[in-house]
Structure 1
Amino acid sequence: MIKQDVIIIGAGMSALIAAHKLAGKMNVKIFTKNIKSSNNSWRAQGGIAAAVHKNDSPCNHYSDTLKAGCLHNDQGAVSILVEEGVIRLNNWIASGMSFDTDSSGSFLLGIEGAHGRRRILHAGGDQTGARMMEYLYNKAAIAADIQIYENEQAVDLLAEDGRCTGIITKGTDERVYEHHSHFTILATGGCGGLFEATSNDPSIIGDGIAMAYRAGAALSDLEFLQFHPTLIVHNGITAGLASEAIRGEGAILTDEKGSPIMRGVHPLRDLAPRDIVARVIEGYIQQGKQAYLDITPISNFRKSFPAISKLCESAGISLENNRVPVSPGAHFLMGGVITDTFGRTTLPGLYAIGETARTGVHGANRLASNSLLEALVFGERAAENILKESDKIYQALSQKERLIEKQNTSCRAPVLPTRKEIRSKISLSLGVERDGEELKSLESWLHGHGAEAHAYADRSCWDRETIERSNMLLTGWLMARSALERTESRGAHYRTDFPHRDQNKWQGKQIIRQIQPKRATVIN
């Protein structure tokens, strides 16, 4: 039997998890616009959450996830996450993926914000993402039917007769190709690179969201962007992320005088949900003050957190003072391309997994360390569904790949704002706290620079940089529209003009509004 073809856009954890599930049964092509390490999975410090301890349960994990998500979660999806997560993670551990253990062989479980108990597995202390990615790439290297194409930018999705049939790509030589496939998976990550301060790889700018929108797939919850409260900052420069695991091991958030700043704010104090901690620290910054992580309670900090120690030292921050300057930064998008619990989008043939997808598990605010678990669970479920659906797809691919030699010579690429300009505008209006007038101003500015028009343009003749900035403008515009539509404060979306947080007054999530009915639907 001839193997069918699957294209995956993105090379992070969810992409590799799906690829491995498909390997041996289908031909898998992975495209990434930069090198394969230019994604957020390599940067994941905190770990992966799962109720693996005998004193824990999926029910407890489920409850914590809903509380952190401000009851905006898809409860069915959360049940799948926490119940299947334990089973699927144990399967990977049995196959060789390792996590930190004590001398008796028991997992060294950490605790992070909004978790009721210790359930975070780590690898290499604060190098969980890198260790897991190394393991997955080593397995991919010996899989004959997994091919990885670096520096090949996905420009758009191909669709025929209402079904996604592949992608258009552009290499560093600016040559344009069509790649046809039976199934296509978006795994392009979130959009942290739209902001000046972010924990993300700067290349993560919402490409998948823009491509899905242009192709007509439905989007949801784009207003819910989580800001991590503790990015490491020094002399106004972001050096990296200080994992929440540091606070889980006893570090305390303080002001410049060393006084705790979370006391009396929330019962969980330093381990309160991220949106709450981020707003407290943002308040200090708005007053021209600096917040710090006091790491004095952590013995042998360098051994426990080697990657974070290296980040601090590279930035010129002396750990001898036992305090690390921190500030909030864009971290994780809870919304994205709407999928069901099998990764299927509203466009047949197109799947979305990882941070690109809006599975509904995170609600309005992601519970710490649930992202890697989501990548594992729903990456595998998407692959399993593709294998099941492949029996129904019989059409042959007349041409798997072709070079588009004759481009539109009359096409002129637009003159767009610089990345710096776009990031500055988006950071100002779509930050930790938002205001209706500022959101309107941002929406108008983005619209004035062609954000909406780019949803219809033929971009294959544009250069790679222009395409990326176009995606930045379009994704930012969609987020601004979504943030304007939600006239309440919930989780990571905080409106200063609608600050009330009484959960009895929270609106339902099925507020449907078609921003662009001819192309796509955004559901708030």
Structure 2
Amino acid sequence: MTDLCIDLSYDVVIVGGGLAGQALALSVADQKRVLLISKNPLEAAASNYAQGGISAVYGAHDSHEKHIEDTLVAGCHLNDRENTRFIVEGGLDAVQWLIAQGVPFTKDGEDYHLTREGGHGERRILHVDDMTGRGIQQTLTGRLKNHGNITLLEHYTVVDLITTEDGKRCIGVTLLDAMGNARRIAAGATVLATGGVGAIFQHATSPSSTIGDGVALAWRAGCRVANMEFLQFHPTCMYYPGGEAFLITEAVRGEGGLLKRADGTRFMDDYDPRAELAPRDVVSRAIYAEMKKTGQPCVYLDISHKTPEFVRSHFPNIYRICLERGIDITRQPIPVTPASHYTCGGIFAGHDGKTDLEQLLCLGEAAYTGLHGANRLASNSLLECVVMARAAAEAILADHVSIPVLPLPTGGPRALASSKEDFLRLMKQEIRALMWNYVGIVRSTFSLRAAARRLDVIRQEVFALLEARSPCVELIEARNLVITADLIIRSALSRKESRGCHYNTDFPDMATEAEPTVLMPHTDQQSIAA
């Protein structure tokens, strides 16, 4: 759909085309008119790249209490216990809803095959081979595109949330298409399902567009954010210089994969008694330490001691991609390195997605519910997406909110010169390098303050451009990058301990007691530097 009137209205406007957004759209579309907005094709959503699976208490010997305890341990007990219980206990219903949509989870005979991943005490991961995200996304996208009550807009960027004059209620969004044309949409309910902030770092497993758009939008509109310092680095991204990042799923270690140095010796036993099955933050820092010790750019993940039939049947996509890159994983180890992967914090939201603004909801990785605490347990992310989407659908259907009338627009769009777009692309690259080098796996107070000073200079340049001209897509993304990076740095500086994904060499120990880091929105949104 490309020919929009200036003021359109929908019962529900969803920003983001990943699992959370699609699950919500399908859950309300029989009763509501839905607009789903994605700045990329739906196939490019981060959910599409999820390999491992979705965790749920499905096995006979498993229990909610075991799953909750594993989640709390991985999260270093910084989790919100009430929301954690709600989401874990909703796992079976979430899986059954996905099955009813037609998701082809892998079977073992008549039953679904359950795998195990790092941090889980039981086998509770349902999966679609080693391409779970793709299997789910393709299924839901097919249903979504054929639903008469859902309108899909791809290649559109949300510039701002539209709020009431008192700033207490969200009543719609302002969009920008690739040509620089602005559009305003009124909404009975507006939902941010924009994913995390992984690509704010130079090395990331998530798509390059995953830069915290939703966090920046909600923060500017007056919402709290929480726990932005807890950014999970996946320990095993394939090391392949010059090529696209490729995630090696947690399930490889769950099925017996071993981490080794270049000389073939194992090292995880030196760092944690759980060895390769330790939580991701532990494994990532161990790999980082080994790389620092040896001066090597990677370590090696070896599953070749398993039979070739086992490897090919369990990890067909990984086998294929690695073979295309010159590595036969049935005979050779995979070179791997940590990469930015998942955002444990986000926009402050309840388990039903409700935020500080009336009629604004947030779902999935963009939201902070407290489920993940200081570190996400593997495969709890897809679980959170579906459980939250289903709970949000119930809340939206129960609210019976009428579609508001938007205030009159002011001004008009002007195109930004291509030379300025080149400048903005270089600026975004600089932010990513800054975050990787100074706010990465291991931080210090000095590195964080240095990052804040440099980011403040970039911020001034970005906001000077915003004041001078109407926004283009590159400028909006640069603004969102600056805001989100600042929130991460500010959150990291405020935590005087190391816990989960956050490790500060000046405060290496975990405090006896700790609370989530909650940031209140600034009254002056252009003065965001700490």
TM-score, normalization: structure 1? 0.92
Which residue of structure 2 aligns with residue 273 of structure 1? 279
Q: CA contact under 8 A between 1:30 and 1:147: conserved in structure 2? A: yes
Which residue of structure 1 aligns with residue 503 of structure 2? 494
Q: CA deviation at 1:141?
A: 2.2
Paired AA for residue 162 in structure 2: L
Which residue of structure 2 aligns with residue 140 of structure 1? 144
* Equivalent position SS for 1:329: strand
Distance 2:518 2:375 in 1: 20
Which residue of structure 2 aligns with residue 336 of structure 1? 346
Q: CA deviation at 1:489?
A: 0.3
Q: CA contact under 8 A between 1:73 and 1:361: conserved in structure 2? A: yes
Q: CA deviation at 1:261?
A: 1.1
Which residue of structure 2 aligns with residue 421 of structure 1? 430
Paired AA for residue 131 in structure 2: Q
Q: CA contact under 8 A between 2:466 and 2:475: conserved in structure 1? A: no
TM alignment of 1:183-202, pairs within 5 A: 183-202=189-208
* Equivalent position SS for 2:496: coil
Paired AA for residue 384 in structure 1: E
Distance 1:458 1:23 in 2: 39
Q: CA contact under 8 A between 1:413 and 1:461: conserved in structure 2? A: no
2:113 corresponds to which of 105, 108, 112:
108
Kindly provide the CA deviation profile for residues 436-461 of structure 1, in whole angstroms up to 9, marking residues without a partner as x: 11100111111111269849956981
Distance 1:409 1:465 in 2: 11
The alignment status of 1:448 with 2:457, answered yes or no, reads: yes
The 3 A distance-change label for structure 1 pair 51 and 454 is: farther
Q: CA deviation at 1:147?
A: 1.0
2:263 corresponds to which of 254, 257, 265:
257
Aligned Cα RMSD in Å?
2.6
The 3 A distance-change label for structure 1 pair 410 and 226 is: closer
Distance 1:434 1:81 in 2: 31
The 3 A distance-change label for structure 1 pair 519 and 346 is: farther
The alignment status of 1:154 with 2:163, answered yes or no, reads: no
Distance 2:464 2:11 in 1: 27
1:63 corresponds to which of 59, 62, 69:
69
Distance 1:210 1:18 in 2: 22
Distance 2:285 2:449 in 1: 22
The alignment status of 1:291 with 2:299, answered yes or no, reads: yes
Kindly provide the CA deviation profile for residues 114-156 of structure 1, in whole angstroms up to 9, marking residues without a partner as x: 1001100111x10111010111011112210111101011111
The 3 A distance-change label for structure 1 pair 252 and 441 is: same
TM alignment of 1:12-411, pairs within 5 A: 12-103=18-109, 105-123=110-128, 125-161=129-165, 162-235=168-241, 239-287=245-293, 288-289=295-296, 290-299=298-307, 300=309, 301-319=311-329, 321-390=331-400, 393-394=401-402, 396-397=404-405, 406-407=412-413
Select between 76-85 and 316-325 the one with higher mean Cα deviation.
316-325
* Equivalent position SS for 1:449: helix
Q: CA contact under 8 A between 2:319 and 2:328: conserved in structure 1? A: no
Kindly provide the CA deviation profile for residues 316-351 of structure 1, in whole angstroms up to 9, marking residues without a partner as x: 334364200010000000000000121011011110
Kindly provide the CA deviation profile for residues 180-220 of structure 1, in whole angstroms up to 9, marking residues without a partner as x: 11110001100111112111011111111111111111111
Q: CA contact under 8 A between 1:279 and 1:432: conserved in structure 2? A: yes
The alignment status of 1:463 with 2:472, answered yes or no, reads: yes
Distance 1:486 1:274 in 2: 20
Q: CA contact under 8 A between 1:339 and 1:345: conserved in structure 2? A: yes
Which residue of structure 1 aligns with residue 483 of structure 2? 474
Select between 309-318 and 273-282 the one with higher mean Cα deviation.
309-318
Distance 2:468 2:491 in 1: 25
Select between 199-208 and 303-312 the one with higher mean Cα deviation.
303-312
Q: CA contact under 8 A between 1:254 and 1:261: conserved in structure 2? A: yes
* Equivalent position SS for 1:200: coil
The 3 A distance-change label for structure 1 pair 316 and 322 is: closer
The 3 A distance-change label for structure 1 pair 231 and 459 is: farther
The 3 A distance-change label for structure 1 pair 474 and 29 is: same
Kindly provide the CA deviation profile for residues 91-117 of structure 1, in whole angstroms up to 9, marking residues without a partner as x: 3324432311112x1111110011001
Q: CA deviation at 1:315?
A: 3.0
Paired AA for residue 273 in structure 2: P
The 3 A distance-change label for structure 1 pair 452 and 10 is: farther
Q: CA contact under 8 A between 2:304 and 2:330: conserved in structure 1? A: no
Which residue of structure 2 aligns with residue 436 of structure 1? 445
Paired AA for residue 11 in structure 1: G
The 3 A distance-change label for structure 1 pair 460 and 77 is: farther
Q: CA deviation at 1:474?
A: 1.5
Which residue of structure 2 aligns with residue 507 of structure 1? 514
Distance 2:69 2:50 in 1: 24
Q: CA deviation at 1:237?
A: 5.0
Paired AA for residue 93 in structure 2: I
Q: CA deviation at 1:507?
A: 2.0
Distance 2:252 2:328 in 1: 17
Paired AA for residue 305 in structure 2: P
Q: CA contact under 8 A between 1:513 and 1:521: conserved in structure 2? A: no
Equivalences, count: 511
Q: CA deviation at 1:403?
A: 8.7
Paired AA for residue 442 in structure 1: A
Q: CA contact under 8 A between 2:204 and 2:245: conserved in structure 1? A: no
The 3 A distance-change label for structure 1 pair 20 and 451 is: farther
Select between 251-260 and 302-311 the one with higher mean Cα deviation.
302-311
* Equivalent position SS for 1:213: helix
Distance 1:151 1:292 in 2: 38
Q: CA contact under 8 A between 2:70 and 2:120: conserved in structure 1? A: yes
Paired AA for residue 430 in structure 1: V
* Equivalent position SS for 1:182: strand
Report the identity percentage. Answer: 36
Distance 1:453 1:418 in 2: 9
Distance 1:177 1:459 in 2: 20
